[in-house]
Structure 1
Amino acid sequence: MDDATGGQERSDSGKDTVQDLFTPLTVGSLTVRNRFAMAPMTRAASPDGIPGPDVAAYYARRAAGGTALVITEGIRIPHPAAGWPDRIPNLDGADVLAGWRAVTDAVHAEGGTIAAQLWHQGAARGVHDDDGPDHVPVSPSGVDLAGVAIGRALSTEELPELAQAYALAAANARAAGFDAVEIHGAHGYLLDQFLWEHTNHRTDGYGGSLAARTRFPAEVVAAVRAAVGPDLPIIFRFSQWKMNRYDAQVVGSATELEQLLAPLVEAGVDVLHPSTRRHYVPGFPDEDPRLSLAGWTKKMTGLPVIAVGSVGLETEFNPGEAGGPIPPSSIDRLLDQYEAGEFDIVAVGRALLADPAWVNRVRDGKLDQFGGFDAASALGRLY
């Protein structure tokens, strides 16, 4: 039933309008059956970097439960300093790719699609007792998120080879049956370290202005696009907040956001994934007190956008003092954003840890408050 504004009238339960989220979407060679994705969440459950049958079963359960697009945990690109520990999966080698083929086959068998998240931790890798000489952390300027010296700065000459490591990972992902790749450029990891002025102090063509800080991430996107061809979707995940700085900002205005995203889009990004801790918080409240970062991203680029952040939380979630508690989400907030065209897909994290069938329960109207679980109960349940 349409109301006077032309939108669908929302029933008391929201169920009628929720069904709008159960429509397909096609981007390039990828078609998802609904608008729900599984957010990437690190598990460190792949000994020697090789995903085993338990990994395939873990992701397949979410696909069987209705999740249309599974975005994997961060996968180390083939670079010696890409990540720690070695239980984090990688994307190079016959045994590894055979393991990933089993994962993608399992997800496809349940009607889902799957994207590989390509990850380099940069300075966030840290230094560890079992490191060899090739595992020294590398970053734009040899400093961590707190500004403390660690590892070494990447030379200008090293950057093309590093971009090709992303490209190799992407090509391997395609060969292993992935439907898309997501480039991790958020949360204070390597590409975000280039984007953020507090970790990028370079004086060459890759530091200084916002355009220069965006240059290497855009070169990574271009290398990945060349490796996977024109049709495989490339998702780019970015964020304002960092793992130890919830108040951090890469850009301070919508104009700067457009300057950040334009080179990435031109280089070949198909989908943008602005990571926020709360999907409903305004991106730039002084410019628009309602529009989320996802909404601004959609407005500035016109590309498909993945929203994320506390979706499905029924109770307040407090991860500790840093950043403060996260209030519960609500179906009304999410649907208002969707109806306003702020996002195309919504990524869900903790709710899918607690209940792999959460999406199907949303579809069937079996969740009283759209969340249906205590947020804290999901912690540690990376099964």
Structure 2
Amino acid sequence: MSSLFTPLSLRSLEIPNRVWMSPMCMYSAAPEGPDTGAPTDFHLTHLASRAAGGAGLVMTEATGVRPDGRISPWDLGLWNDRQQEAFTRVTEAIKAHGAVPAIQLAHAGRKASVDKPWVSDRYVSEDENGWQAVAPSPVAYQGLPVPHELTEEEIQQLVRDFADSARRALAAGFQVAEVHGAHGYLINSFLSPAANHRTDAYGGSFENRIRFALEVVDAVRAVWPDDLPVFFRTSATDWLTENPEDEREGWTGEDTVRLAKELQARGVDLLDVSTGGMVRDAKIAAGPNYQVPFADQARNQAGIPTAAVGIITEPQQAEDIITSEQADAVFLGRELLRNPYWPQHAALALDTEPTWPDQYAYVVKRRKR
């Protein structure tokens, strides 16, 4: 049997295979009114169809832990009862197809309050349902306004916000909570010296820069059941230090290994390894498997299970990542947008029986003659 389609157990949760759906923002929630931030019928169809398509784990897009934590006014959030109730429909649909429902809890930090990407990259002002962005330091992401520098009191409130959203996620039926610590958003901007210029307990040394991330993880783990896993998504590098022509100091793969050890000690069960997003002009040599070495490095140097992401498009490519023990799972993004049934087709290509829903299976699955 294909390694890609063997179960993966984390704590008491068994995930049926290693092909997982990445969190991808759809910018399709109501931006105002009573349904602000709540998943819609579109989100229900979008996520449930990937579960029917054979993904072992289906993760929602970055979900704001508070209104001003969203990337855009059209993003999902989880800070009230109405949103929680709407998410319950989503988790039930994902489970009905045999997949594990997961949620990515997030705060966009200095990259918040922007337009839908297919419209523009511009900042959405406060009179357009936008808000002032916040960050560890008043350092703007290129093209966006200077953010408000968080006070220590505000930081502690954010820690509580993550915990509150995790409680709601559990009540809504999610089985995995992922803390979003990547792509230049709030937690990632605390980690990286490219964005964190603080001189208090949350800045300067490596230990201080990771403090907020660890406090958030501790708060989420404290309200999440001991028998269910917590993930952490990281940008393993800012792609600054690796470039000899770039004099800016950034977060590195070695930093990620150090962080991974701390996260695992605090109850994080899997590191979801991406890269980049801290600065617009970083030079990134993107290509198939270009981020996999960072998942490999964290897995085999820190001893933490990892998931690999980034231009993974072919069944054998994904299979080789698992069999070579570079990662324990793969997250697919754009490829699952192109083809929601990629896992079913990959199973066939790897000589494994697909798991079509019964309503499809009697027509499409292989039959003995």
- Shared fold per TM-score greater than 0.5: yes
Q: Which runs of 5+ in 2 are unaligned?
A: 31-35, 114-122, 276-285, 352-369
Please say if residues 40 and 71 of structure 1, whose CA atoms lie closer than 8 Å, have aligned partners that are also in contact. yes
For 1:278 and 1:225, how far apart are their aligned partners in 2? 35
Corresponding residue number in structure 2 for 1:74: 62
Provide, for residues 16-49 of structure 1, a one-character-per-residue CA deviation record: whole Å limited to 9, x for no partner.
6xx2211111112421111100011110112121
1:120 aligns with 2:104: no
Segment drifting more, 127-136 vs 219-228: 127-136
Which residue is 1:306 aligned to?
307
Q: 2:17 matched to which residue of 1?
A: 34
Structure 1 residues 74 and 261: alpha-carbon distance in aligned structure 2, compared to 1, 3 A threshold: same
* Bigger shift: residues 344-353 or 235-244: 235-244
Q: How far, CA to CA, are the matches of 2:217 and 2:63 in structure 1?
A: 16
Structure 1 position 220, deviation (Å): 0.4
Deviation for aligned residue 1:343: 0.7
Corresponding residue for residue 171 of structure 2: 175
Distance 1:90 1:190 in 2: 15
- Aligned-pair RMSD on alpha carbons? 2.7
**Residues 246 and 138 of structure 1: CA distance in aligned 2, closer, same or farther (over 3 Å):** farther
Residue number in structure 2 paired with 1:372 = none
* Contact 2:296 2:327 (C-alpha < 8 Å) held by counterparts: yes
Residue 293 of structure 1 pairs with residue 309 of structure 2: no
Deviations 1:286-314, CA, capped at 9 Å, x for gaps? xxxxxx101111012222211111011xx
Aligned equivalent of 1:162: 158
Offset at 1:69? 0.4
Q: Distance in 1 between matches of 2:168 and 2:249?
A: 33
Q: Is the 8 A contact 1:279 1:310 kept in 2?
A: yes
Task: Name the structure 2 match of 1:206.
Answer: 202
The answer to whether residue 254 in structure 2 is matched with residue 266 in structure 1 is no
In structure 2, the partner of 1:341 is 325
Cα distance, 1:85 vs structure 2 = 2.7
- Tell me if the contact between 1:84 and 1:125 (Cα under 8 Å) persists in the aligned partners: yes
> Residues 132 and 55 from structure 1, CA distance in 2 versus in 1: closer, same or farther, beyond 3 angstroms?
closer
Q: Identify the residue that residue 106 of structure 1 maps to in structure 2.
A: 93
Q: CA separation in 2, counterparts of 1:245 and 1:310?
A: 23
For normalisation by structure 2, the TM-score amounts to 0.80
Counterpart CA distance in 2 for 1:344 and 1:52 is 32
- The alignment partner of 1:115 has SS state of strand
Task: Write the mapping of 1:15-94 to structure 2, written as runs, cut at 5 A.
Answer: 19-47=2-30, 48-78=36-66, 80-94=67-81
Q: Give the structure 2 partner of residue 381 of structure 1.
A: none
Residue of structure 1 in register with 2:290 after alignment: 281
Work out the percentage of aligned pairs sharing the same amino acid. 34
The one-letter amino acid of 2:270's match is: V
- Name structure 1 gaps, 5 residues minimum: 1-15, 284-291, 313-329, 368-383
- Of 229-238 and 33-42, deviating more is 229-238
Paired with 2:237 and 2:170, the residues of 1 have a C-alpha distance of 30
Deviations 1:169-189 (A, max 9, x none): 111101000010111111100
* CA distance in 2 between partners of 1:163 and 1:196 (Å): 19
Q: Distance in 2 between matches of 1:71 and 1:87?
A: 18
Once residues 129 and 341 of structure 2 are traced to their aligned partners in structure 1, the CA distance between those partners, rounded to angstroms, is 45
Cα distance in 2 between the residues matched to 1:338 and 1:28: 20
Cα deviation digits, residues 92-119 of structure 1 (max 9, x gap)? 2222111100000001111111110111
Partner SS for 2:126: coil
* Letter aligned with residue 152 of structure 1: H
Deviation at 1:81, TM superposition (A): 2.0
Distance 1:366 1:293 in 2: 26
Which amino acid is the alignment partner of residue 175 of structure 2?
A: D
Question: What TM-score do the two structures reach when normalised by structure 1?
Answer: 0.78
| 1:141 matches 2:132 | no
C-alpha spacing 1:366/1:68, structure 2 compared with 1 (3 Å): same
CA contact (8 A) 2:26 2:75 kept: yes
Q: Secondary structure at the residue paired with 1:136?
A: coil
